[in-house]
Amino acid sequence: MTTQVTRSGDRELVITRRFNAPRAQVFDAFTHPEWVKRWLHGPEGWTLETCEIDLQKGGAFRYQWRGDKGEVMGMSGRFLSVDRPEKTVHTEIFDEDWTGGETRVTTAYFEEGQGTRVEMTILYASLEVREGAIESGMADGMEASFAALEATLIQ
């Protein structure tokens, strides 16, 4: 499995990844804290220590990671819509705002044979911020997390 990152328009990235699990299970793995804590570890040497998700329209979420040297990275957002198991739309912003403001993330889940294709569309504040995200190596980090998710789904 490989994570694909594609530019769309002036400010969007589309991230696509296929998982060998039913759509409802993949949806839950992205939206329930007990699942997310098992795979969304962040960069090498980091762990997800806070994972709070209020999965409803208007509900908030909070993730906070801690690095092996004590560094902290946090992100918060709010759900704009939840349509289980087809799609969620949420906002997100990092505590140290490197994205130039809030981003909007639409995550769609498509049944494909025995598996599920996840398509995340991230809308950034500007072209420059989107390009900075690509240059940051985010695709490698996402693939590492998604590989951990795939392993979790198989268990």
CATH number at residue 85: 3.30.530.20
Give the number of other Cβ atoms within 10 Å of residue 88's Cβ. 22
Instruction: Identify the residue with better confidence: 14 or 100.
Output: 14
Give residue 72's domain range.
4-154
How does pLDDT run across 76-128, given as a tens digit for each residue? 999 999 999 999 999 999 998 877 889 999 999 999 999 999 999 999 999 99
- Return d(Cα 133, Cα 113) in angstroms, integer: 32
Among 18, 14, 46, 75, CA closest to 141: 46
Report how far apart, in Å, the C-alpha atoms of 145 and of each of 13, 49, 56, 142, 153 are. Answer: 18, 15, 24, 5, 12
Query: What pLDDT is attached to residue 70?
Result: 92
- Return d(Cα 117, Cα 26) in angstroms, integer: 9
Q: What is the mean pLDDT of residues 38-45?
A: 85
Instruction: Identify the residue with better confidence: 154 or 53.
Output: 53
pTM for the complete prediction? 0.93
Count up the domains in the chain and report the number. Answer: 1
